[in-house]
Amino acid sequence: MVKLLDVTLRDGGYTNSFQFEQQVAIDIVDSLHQAGIDYIEIGYRNGPEEGPTKLGLSARVNRDYIHAIRTHVPGAKIVVMLHPHNISEQDLLELKEFNINVVRICIRSDNLQNGLSVIRSAKQQGLFVSANFVRVTYLSPLQIREWMLQAEAAGADWVYFADSNGHMVPDQVKEYAEIFKKVLQIPVGFHAHHNLSLGLTNTLAAIESGIDIIDASLRGLGKGAGNLPTEVYVSYLERMNIKHNYDLVSILKTAEYLENNVMHRPMYLTTRDLMFGMANFSNDFINPVMHEAATQDVSWQQLTLNLSKRKPIKPVFEEIKAVVADIKSLDKILAPTLEERSL
């Protein structure tokens, strides 16, 4: 049976600067636990990699916060995410002290050695460790598999791959998942994003390929286009008469509570998130792309589309400028034949 890990309080924190009230966090964890959700992520220890500067409870995961959740919901399997660059032995000790069930370590190509080192430290403290490989669409599945094997050798209990840019399509998810499952002894997880409106479909493709754990969040709350909504996944299981242990009614009510009391706006697919997913661009590039489009008077839609045609790509400032220049010179040639449209 595939396990379900809810990331509302962690990934969802990007939408509200991680400002969940402590009682709200307790209520969400309590409700999800009682509804049978297998694992519940409560935030980042010591902050996300990037993000807003004034961050709330679930971006810090300090003693008081963990203690409150642990006290009120002793039976829940609690997950905390961390970044290798800002974690001390003392942090790991505290996570162990409060019996955090899983620590997830974000690993990218540029922090692999640091990530492996944190895996080893966390294992020495007796923690259960997931090595989460993010932004996997920048890399080949064989490259990531090689790193996953290193994580496994370093003691990781799980590995995960995350479609951080929301660029994956189902056949690609299958390709990655099957390559990973073929060689890894430990469970493999998958984290989808919804930029191409394929959050559920990509997750189902991963499950079909034998994946062991999936991520989801209430109402899809998450960075950019957001995640597969927890309630959509469970409704799908219900729709397909797939046996499950989740209380759908309770999950729906918790989702609605979140929507009515916490969320600033519903998660919906904006055209920007759609285009950034199509183009395989990280959210990190929103500011430079939008800024250059605005100041150079080209449309960000055209700029994103033209940039995407140079894939595989991580747009850097020079490249953005070059594409802007291309668009402008083309505009100049075409200008006399173009009429201004009413839209």
Contacts of a copy of itself in 143-182 (CB under 8 A): 167, 169-170
Of 26-34, 127-135, 152-160, 173-181, the segment contacting a copy of itself by CB under 8 A is: 26-34
State the nearest-atom distance from the C-beta of 181 to a copy of itself, in Å.
22
Contacts of a copy of itself in 30-89 (CB under 8 A): 30-31, 34
Helices 317-334 and 286-296: angle between axes, nearest 10 degrees: 30
Give the position of tokens 């919906």.
268
Q: Is 44 helix (H, G, I), strand (E, B) or coil?
A: strand
Contacts of a copy of itself in 208-267 (CB under 8 A): 229, 231-232, 235-236, 238-240, 248-249, 252-257, 259, 266-267
162: which strand partners?
A: 191
Is the distance from CB of 171 to CB of 178 less than 8 angstroms? no
Residue type, 296: Q
Count of all residues that appear for the chain in the document: 343
Q: Which of 86, 99, 113, 301 forms a contact with a copy of itself (CB under 8 A)?
A: 301
Q: Which is nearer to a copy of itself, 45 or 191 (CB)?
A: 191
Q: Which is nearer to a copy of itself, 82 or 298 (CB)?
A: 298
From CA 248, how far away is CA 145, in angstroms rounded? Answer: 35
From CA 243, how far away is CA 44, in angstroms rounded? Answer: 32
State the nearest-atom distance from the C-beta of 255 to a copy of itself, in Å.
6
From CA 210, how far away is CA 205, in angstroms rounded? Answer: 9
Contacts of a copy of itself in 302-341 (CB under 8 A): 302, 305, 308, 341
- Which residue, 300, 280, 302, 301, is CA-closest to 288? 300
Question: In Å, what is the CA distance from 201 to each residue of 229, 243, 266, 272?
Answer: 12, 19, 21, 21
Q: Is 200 helix (H, G, I), strand (E, B) or coil?
A: helix
Of 78-86, 97-105, 133-141, 270-278, the segment contacting a copy of itself by CB under 8 A is: 270-278
Q: Which is nearer to a copy of itself, 22 or 125 (CB)?
A: 22
Q: Within 13 Å and on the Cβ side, how many CA atoms surround 303?
A: 28
Is the distance from CB of 258 to CB of 219 less than 8 angstroms? yes
Q: Which is nearer to a copy of itself, 146 or 256 (CB)?
A: 256
- Which residue, 130, 124, 139, 79, is CA-closest to 106? 130
State the nearest-atom distance from the C-beta of 26 to a copy of itself, in Å.
8
The footprint of a copy of itself on this chain (CB under 8 A) covers a number of residues equal to 48
Q: Which is nearer to a copy of itself, 88 or 197 (CB)?
A: 197
Q: Which is nearer to a copy of itself, 128 or 300 (CB)?
A: 300
* Residues in touch with a copy of itself (CB under 8 A): 27, 30-31, 34, 167, 169-170, 194, 196-201, 229, 231-232, 235-236, 238-240, 248-249, 252-257, 259, 266-269, 271, 274-275, 277-278, 299, 301-302, 305, 308, 341-343
